[in-house]
Structure 1
């Protein structure tokens, strides 16, 4: 499914539930938010996007504990989960997606090579605990390719999650 089809599918799913979405993006730099808001009428279901590129921004804008970043690193499922939860709470949206990774060409390590991207998806729950899912993927290619693959993956996985 291409980005346009994914956006249209996600939009119809969110509209059917009267839900709004928030994004918390790091390595994609707002690419997912831009893709979603390319669709006319997106203001009906797109609440807001946070580009929290620095660790300080993750802490200040999304409430990600600095200790969590220090312990696991900014590129970790733990931080991706906290980013998604923070975006949900700060925005008042019903669902949120977060992305944090190493797009390259530098910044990688043996443990976390270039192309490592962590995702978080959360859905507001009626209970006290929101449902939060995280996953780590490894993408190949240059910086642009990693960012595009991360965008497409984030949307496709979230659509699959909403269908289940």
Structure 2
């Protein structure tokens, strides 16, 4: 069996990344709103909003991770927000998820001192919760995640 390799996704890998993230959404029964054009614009522009890693076995994509920078004054440093982590069913159980998370730390810009990883887990996904807890992730009891989107976001943009 061919060894799994992990590399940082480049612009030429955007279609492969899009396919992996589409599979993640399907696996989770989630809406997939990010188009290939959206990934290109936000991840492979002059000022990218994220970086991505791809795990491949030969020509097959078997894993992907998307991470964005986050800074915390209370933690005293930079962190990574892992918005997406996907491992293909045929590659699960071999430690690829932890390898992708560790590789994200290695691929963060050298000028950062990454002091934490942050992510969110859906309440109806106990398998993901157990996976992250086994790695040492802990839920933050003192935080509630808020989102602002749609008309409320538009209204905020319009404020003087």
TM-score by length of 1: 0.28
Higher CA-based Rg: 2
TM-score by length of 2: 0.29
Structure with the higher fraction of residues in strand conformation: 2
Structure with greater contact order relative to length (CA < 8 Å, sep ≥ 6) = 1
Structure with the higher fraction of residues in helix conformation: 1
